[in-house]
Amino acid sequence: MNSKAIIRVLVLGDSHCGDKAGLTPISRIAKKSPYSDAQTQLWNWFEHQIKENSPYDYTILTGDMVEGTNNKNTIELYESDTDEQGEIAAECCRIIPCEKKNFYCVYGTPFHTAGTYSYENNFAQCFGIAKPKTTQLINFGDMVRVNVRHTVGRSSIPYGQGTPTYKEMVNEIINAALQEDDSADICIRGHAHYSVSMRVRDHESIVVPCLKYPGSVFGRKLPETQYDMGFGILEIYGYKNWRYIPVHMPLEISGKRDWTNINVGRKG
């Protein structure tokens, strides 16, 4: 492997802007809000790490950039206007040092990103990048081919995470063969809110961590060991020569465990 990457790609998503637990820029944080400390910690970590790990030649956004109307759990929202959510997501992305023409975005789940219109279209327009696609097929200079979609199957079993991740790789190889096309070398997914990668010979399948706290209604459904926050960096060195580096938010920031101590007096 060469010592210096030819291409560096930032990969992030699941920011769920508009949600109290989602990524929120400083300008949108209400100082008197009970969520302000957590929102500030997440933003400061994100802003620092984006700058610390730059520069980026390209950026891939894996969807669910906004929370949407969230009809099941509206108590999670601090901003219910989906146009404003798009503005918030755009503001978050403006700190990324990457040319806008080099951003590639995919749609998130319909639950979060579709209603009377596609909310992430508004985000893309606000930010000034191309409209998202359901699938992005990106060929980096005939060196590495990447297939990007949002959704992937999720496993709550620690040693089972690789199965739905690996399935994406196998499906891509099969679909490409059926269409007599070149298969992607790398499959990139979001959605699961955990971080995992599977590499088999000349193919890799990746699930990118999220940018939303587990301490929401959504988080109630998830075991604490199965949640990862952060983003990823894909470094391309040459023909079929790459490295994926996840950048994880420390657990003591994203979800420190809080014990309730009970003093029990003993008799005798």
CATH of the domain at 134: 3.60.21.10
Domain of residue 38 covers 7-248
β-partners of residue 199 are 204
- The arithmetic mean of pLDDT across residues 233-261, rounded, is 85
User: In the prediction, which pLDDT does 261 show?
Assistant: 87
Is residue 56 in some structural domain?
yes
Is residue 244 in some structural domain?
yes
Digit-coded pLDDT (tens) for 56-113: 999 999 999 998 887 666 668 888 888 999 999 999 999 999 999 999 999 998 888 8
Torsion of the alpha carbons at 122, 72, 192 and 52, rounded to the nearest 10: 50
Structure tokens at 101: 């023409």
Tally of CB atoms within 10 A around 105: 26
User: In the prediction, which pLDDT does 163 show?
Assistant: 84
Is residue 207 in some structural domain?
yes
Digit-coded pLDDT (tens) for 167-215: 988 999 999 999 999 999 999 999 999 999 999 889 999 999 999 988 6
Is residue 125 in some structural domain?
yes
User: In the prediction, which pLDDT does 254 show?
Assistant: 52
Residue 196 in contact with residue 165, Cβ under 8 Å?
Answer: yes
**Total number of domains constituting the chain:** 1
Is residue 266 in some structural domain?
no
